[in-house]
Chains A and B, each alone.
Chain A
Amino acid sequence: MKLDAKIPSGPIQDKWDQHRFAMKLVNPANKRKYSVIVVGSGLAGGSAAATLGELGYNVSCFCFQDSPRRAHSIAAQGGINAAKNYQNDGDSIWRLFYDTVKGGDFRAREANVYRLAQISVNIIDQCVAQGVPFAREYGGLLANRSFGGAQVSRTFYARGQTGQQLLLGCYQALERQVAAGTVKMYPRTEMLDLVLVDGVARGIVVRDLVTGKISSHAADAVILATGGYGNVFYLSTNAKGCNVTATYRAYKRGAAFGNPCFTQIHPTCIPVSGDYQSKLTLMSESLRNDGRVWVPKQKGDRRPPGQIPEAERDYYLERKYPSFGNLSPRDIASRAAKEVCDEGRGVGPNGLGVYLDFAAAIGRVGEQKIRERYGNLFEMYQRITDENPYQVPMRIFPAVHYTMGGLWVDYNLMSTIPGLHVLGEANFSDHGANRLGASALMQGLADGYFVIPYTIGDYLATAKLPKVDASHPAFKAAEAEVEARTKTLLTIKGKRTVDSFHRELGRLMWDNCGMARNAAGLRENLEKIPALRQEFWENVTVPGSGTELNQSLEKAGRVADFLEFAELMCRDALHREESCGGHFRTEHQTEDGEARRDDDKFCYVAAWEYQGVDKPPVLHQEPLEFENVHLSTRSYK
């Protein structure tokens, strides 16, 4: 396998424009003749399906929820970045580009990131035109907030529901195409395999989650926009259905997986309250604009926060990072929280939490202002914890939130399998080793609205594709495999539930492949995961049949993939002997506990090629060149 990023030549600011001109166009009259499969109806998949439909392609779109509007993008709270510079505070495409590359700790591809920054401005225009009710100033113009430690206000938002509003805009555009007959929507349908004909992606095998029917869909090109795999940790801020299945099955068919170990831990989530816990809830980062993070100075101090005098509180972020303080980037803030909890200074019932205190802010601007700013978040917190954050400080703890890793794609968003394109969180994309707040929505929409519609046209216009339909033997073979696998899961009839395996796997990943990693822990996982996987295939129990709605069966299939994928993550984490962004190797830190990056050895994208279930994958490297942003160590001190 050879990695060719296909980065256009020329100065970075002209690459995309020249490339768009260089690309072949599909004759409008022929578009209808080309069929495209889009798996996923989130911001990335939904925007792609809608736009390709508008262009006249014959689109089929799939999602596992009962409606495309429920894709996990709906949960995004904080906002979406765009280099509009409406605030005239010195923002620009160059600055957004620079911030994203630096924020990603120099592990992202410059050309992609620059294009992302360029496109960001069109996204806002498009969404406004769709009727997305962004926050406004009294003058009637769009409002912005500063987010995730950016020094400019470039984040557009719709209350605490930005993702919801963007997705609904996208969903409406999608339904418009459904009505127009250009897009056929397949909800409650899960992709279970990718089908290649002569080495080219030509379709997928799916299971109808209502009837259980397994069938094939053939097309001229396949797009995966299936989101992130944070649920490999069991507990995460991701929706319960988020999975690695689609991308992992593609990986098993030959698509290289990029930087699987790059995961983002979000510092402000509601701590775990019990072992029945099914997911973690994010508290928008914007809270850190007014909240002060602290823990007691002495360990095991069990006094209620109110009774701990100022002198005995440790505002550790302000102490360690004077210039950024409570606004330091996610990975740094998260790690700092873990450290103080490891020291035994954590708060809350199980000692896994730190305080996010609004007393000072309330004293400064008054409770009313705080209510206006964070009212809905405070309510959500109280609903879940039964504590009133206006009176007692919030308790927060880091949680898995986003996965920067994903299928490797070139500049055209095509994977190492010809015809297989990957968008949104599902690709390894533009965020390097760490994603800046409010940049994922931007990337998902950039990929779907403004990149793929061009690049897929070029692919279809140039690729010589023989006619293929679902009766082709390759499809029959893939269907048979899926059938067999489903059957096995149903017939093991062991003693343990799917969730119990998922929980155990999550624990292993959180302990040894989470916020801080080291060789010993990762090796331990590489021992334990295969063992757990083996037990799964011998001792899992999945009730019900395969010919009906069977949620246990759905889970089982996803967990089975997590059990293989987790190993790949640990391998990647073990091989990357450096600390960068969300990937922190305890062996590689400075005296004062800061990440130590190794640009000489690891300034590359790690793309893994599958070799077989119990065979180690092969590592391919895409070296990263930084011609416009000069390699430098991040310092938020």
Chain B
Amino acid sequence: MSGGATGTMNLTLMVWRQAAGSGSGKMVRYEAPGVSPDMSFLEMLDVVNEGLIQKGEQPIAFDHDCREGICGSCGMMINGVAHGPMKGTATCQLHMRSFKDGDTIYVEPWRARAFPVIKDLVVDRSAFDRIIAAGGFVSVSTGSAPDGNALPVPKTDADLAMDAAQCIGCGACVAACPNASAMLFTSAKAGHLAMLPQGQPERRRRALGMVEQMDHEGFGGCTWHGECQEACPKQIRIDWITRLYRDYITASATRREENAAEAAI
């Protein structure tokens, strides 16, 4: 009754430590005694860090903010699985009851050329912002909008669009993909907008622009491993990748669009 299992666990952590600004680092071993199953994974790290600070050592750096699984700040490889063992869950929502006493837990940062490590578990994901800037929007300046109900959207389309729009931009798809491909992220945003009437005018141009930027950032191509979908805390499906391919092919094959895209550059 009292929030899950009682009795605490003793765990061993193997954590990637990399000094700021240095290109290299190593796995370091830490003991985490007396961990409560009701703790979140990040709270467990908080406790370890308090101990490190007490000892005058540098705490383990990791990104986090909302701790509600929505801001997309957190994210680490936990025992070789992006965001850890619980499906559809961001690291901050993973609770220690998913582990058992005596476990050794490997904790590593997202790894991709496009996500350089800044320090310890903190990586630079600004490549995602640049992919959005390359077309992941509807060009509608403030004030120019018609009434909200001016153009109806079939409920099913709106719901589907929402499925894709839920992406929190955490980067787990890239981290989990053997090719470090950003296809799930890119296709989710392109797909969200392609699903709605508002997104139609720029649909093809958007696909071309976002894909070009994605490649430019140095992400790999998609070999259809499907790992991204499993890692995604919002369980975004790889069907969105199929849709992006479709849009990309049509876009590449249409003249009108090319001019638009050229104009965009």
Taking A131-B193, A185-B129 as contacts, is the C-beta distance between A140 and B53 under 8 angstroms? no
In contact, A171 and B132 (Cβ under 8 angstroms):
yes
A419, chain B: closest CB distance, angstroms:
22
Of the candidates B73, B124, B158, the one whose C-beta lies within 8 Å of that of A135 is B158
CA–CA, A210 and B119, complex, Å: 9
Q: Report yes or no: B70 in contact with A75, Cβ–Cβ below 8 A.
A: yes
**Cβ B3 vs Cβ A136 within 8 A:** no
Q: Complex: how many Å from CA A499 to CA B147? A: 48
Residue contact A392 to B73, C-beta cutoff 8 Å:
no
Say if the beta carbon of A598 comes within 8 Å of chain B: no
Check B71 against A136 for contact (C-beta < 8 Å). Answer: no
Q: Which of B50, B119, B141, B145 is the one whose CB lies under 8 Å from A549?
A: B119
Binary interface encoding of chain A residues 547-571 relative to chain B, with 1 for a CB under 8 A from any of its CBs, else 0: 0110110000000000000000000
Q: Please tell me if B243 contacts chain A, counting CB pairs below 8 Å.
A: no
Which of chain A's residues has its CB closest to B50's CB? Answer: A497
With A175-B129, A385-B3 already in contact, the answer to whether A549 and B53 are too (CB < 8 A) is no
Inter-subunit contact A130/B59 (CB<8 Å):
no
B47 touches A276 (CB 8 A): yes
Q: List 18 A-B contacts (CB under 8 A).
A: A47-B142, A75-B70, A127-B148, A129-B144, A131-B196, A136-B152, A136-B158, A138-B155, A159-B162, A161-B70, A168-B165, A210-B20, A239-B65, A239-B71, A241-B65, A273-B3, A499-B50, A543-B57
Whether B71 and A74, one on each chain, are in contact in the complex, defined by CB atoms closer than 8 angstroms, is yes
Contact A276 B36 (CB under 8 A): yes
B-side contacts of A500, CB under 8 Å: 50
How far is it, in angstroms, between the C-alpha of A330 and the C-alpha of B59 when the chains are bound? 38
Tell me the chain A residues, 199-234 only, with Cβ under 8 Å from chain B. 210
* Residues of B contacting A129 in the complex (Cβ-Cβ under 8 angstroms): 138, 140, 144-146, 198
A249 at the A/B interface (Cβ < 8 Å)?
no
Contact indicator B70/A164 (Cβ below 8 Å): yes
Q: Would A50 and B138 count as touching, CB distance under 8 A?
A: no
Flag if B133 contacts A176 (CB, 8 Å).
yes
A159 to chain B, nearest CB (A): 6
Contacts of A47 in B (CB 8 A): 142
CB-CB contacts of A524-544 with B at 8 A, as 1s and 0s? 000000000000000001011
- CB nearest to B39 among chain A residues: A276
Is there a chain B Cβ closer than 8 Å to A65's Cβ?
Answer: yes
Tally of A-B Cβ pairs under 8 angstroms: 236
B residues in contact (CB < 8 Å) with A:
1-5, 19-21, 36-40, 42-43, 46-47, 50, 52-54, 56-59, 61, 63-73, 86, 89, 93, 95, 97, 118-119, 122, 124-126, 128-129, 132-134, 136-149, 152-155, 158-159, 161-162, 165-166, 168-169, 192-193, 196, 198-199
In the complex, how many angstroms separate the beta carbon of B145 from the nearest chain A beta carbon?
4
Q: How far is the CA of A69 from the CA of B136 in the complex (A)?
A: 13
Q: B-contacting residues of A (Cβ < 8 Å)?
A: 47, 50-51, 54, 65-70, 72, 74-75, 84, 86, 122, 124-131, 133-142, 158-159, 161, 164-165, 168, 171-173, 175-176, 178-179, 185, 187, 210, 239-241, 273-274, 276-279, 281-282, 304, 348-349, 380, 383-387, 392, 449-450, 453, 493, 497, 499-500, 541, 543-544, 548-549, 551-552
A348 to B3, CA, bound (A): 9
Task: Check A499–B46 contact: CB distance below 8 A.
Answer: yes
Chain A residues near B19: list those with CB within 8 A.
Answer: 548
Given contacts A70-B65, A276-B39, 4 further A-B contacts (CB under 8 A): A128-B198, A131-B193, A165-B165, A171-B132
Q: Note all chain B residues with C-beta closer than 8 A to A72.
A: 65-66, 71
Complex contact A66–B1 (CB within 8 A): no
Could you tell me the distance in whole angstroms from the C-beta of B17 to the nearest C-beta in chain A? 13
Are B137 and A66 neighbours in the complex by a CB distance under 8 Å? no
A161 touching B67, Cβ below 8 Å: no
List residues of chain B with CB within 8 A of the CB of A493.
56
The answer to whether B66 and A130 touch across the interface, beta carbons within 8 angstroms, is: no
- Residue in B closest to A76 when the chains form the complex, CB atoms: B70
When the two chains form their complex, are residues A175 and B136 in contact, meaning their CB atoms are under 8 A apart? yes
> Contact: B136 with A386, CB < 8 Å?
no
In the complex, A124 Cα to B155 Cα: how many Å?
17
CA distance A548 to B144 in the complex (A): 44
**Nearest Cβ distance between residue A339 and chain B, in whole angstroms?**
23
A170–B101 Cα distance when bound, in Å, is 45
**Which of A139, A158, A164, A385 makes the CB contact (< 8 A) with B4?**
A385
Residues of B within 8 A of A141 (CB): 149, 152
Bound form: Cα–Cα A86–B147 in Å? 11
Contact A210 B118 (CB under 8 A): yes
> Which residues of chain B have C-beta atoms less than 8 A from A175's C-beta?
129, 132-133, 136-137
CA distance A93 to B58 in the complex (A): 54
